[in-house]
Amino acid sequence: MTVTAPPAGPRVLLVWDAPNMDMSLGTLLGARPTSAFRPRFDAVGRWLLDLAGPDAIAEATVFTNVVPGSTEVVRPWVEALRNVGFAVFAKPKITEDSDVDDDMLAHIRLRADEGTLEHVVVASGDGRAFREPLEELRAKGTYVTVIGFREHATFAVASDVMEFVDLEEIEGVFREPLPRITLDSLPDGGAWLPPFRSLRSLLEPRR
């Protein structure tokens, strides 16, 4: 079921890919994010309102999977998002293929078909799912912005047709600077680069 909306003025739509953004942030940190390194959605909302300006409708949405048995953990986060003004599309994570990519793309198409989508903002580093659809939207005249982490959203960073904004550049999104160390930003004394996955994963059966 998609969120319906009456015809209105120009619309600026944010689609937040929670599974991808969580994975990207965890990879940057080398661990599960603590509260200091979790994005503040009120700051994201204010940024979106500023982007939309006074004459456009700003619509903020988050798409997420819910693993069976995790509802009590996820519920406070979902309720906090809704309280800030975000709509949340939640889908059970029943199988490995139970992702929300198609649901995000369907909602973007819905808004585009209404004829009022002026600007779409996608928070994701998933170029496989989003690059071509976003390029098609831009070719039809819709402005496209991708927000995320430059280390993971390379499809947008390198694009000539869509704008990229690093999430850490949005004022107030993180309480503390992210400990981002890359080969391009090494301190003079060197730095440890944590593994992307556990060494023990080498013993897991290949899929």
* Mean pLDDT value across residues 199-205: 82
Q: Residue 11's pLDDT is what?
A: 97
* Digit-coded pLDDT (tens) for 67-79: 888 888 899 999 9
86's CB contacts (< 8 A; 6+ apart) are: 16, 41, 45, 60, 61, 62
Look up the pTM and report it: 0.84
User: What percent of the chain is predicted at pLDDT more than 90?
Assistant: 65
> Among positive and negative, which fits the CA dihedral 7, 11, 17, 22?
negative
pLDDT bracket for residue 188 (50, 70, 90):
confident
Would you state the pLDDT for residue 99?
87
Count, in order, helices (H) and strands (E) of the chain: 6, 6
Bigger pLDDT: 64 vs 179: 64
